[in-house]
Structure 1
Amino acid sequence: MPEIRFRIEWPDGAQELCYSPSLVVKDYFAPQQSYDLHDFLQRSTEALQIASDRVQAKYGMPCNLALGQIQKIQATAKRYQNVPEAKVKLLGFLEAAV
């Protein structure tokens, strides 16, 4: 399966490199696009769950890295839940070399 990483910027300017075991995240996000915090959480959770499910279908077990990434994103997002109009920006994708 092709892996991909995507760099995001949180509302305070902090950047994070996130992991997905599938390119499905490209169906949910566009480079240089900002998303409301709640929308970003929904999109990232759904995309990473689909990615984990694809790993499970292929290898018989879910992807712990994708599930862990969901948890990390959700935990970090809690810091910004009271920030008015909090947005998360998808800075870009870094595809793994084949």
Structure 2
Amino acid sequence: NTSNFIKIITDVKLNQDEHLASLDIQDLYTNIPVNKAIDITLKRLDESKKKLDNLPFTKTDIKELLILALKNSYFQFNGKFYKQKTGLPMGNTLS
């Protein structure tokens, strides 16, 4: 939040040729393609085989769970429920 950010940067010393910028990015997760995020996650798991060795799941199981969790996201607005069509759901731990 802004108050916390101000406390943190109060003691930051910048050189003359340096600049400080603060950006408030909204809806970032909704711009991440779900299929690409799943592919990258599975690739990372392949690169670290040890992580899969201790799990009771196969790579296929993990892919199916990711698809289920990330492609079936619903939210409520004005008393109605909507299914998110694109991007990763904001507030989801997996995002």
- TM category (shorter chain) comes to 0.3 to 0.5
Higher RCO by CA contacts (8 Å cutoff, separation 6 or greater): 1
Which structure has the larger Rg over C-alpha atoms?
A: 2
Structure 2 length as normaliser, TM-score?
0.34
Structure 1 length as normaliser, TM-score?
0.33
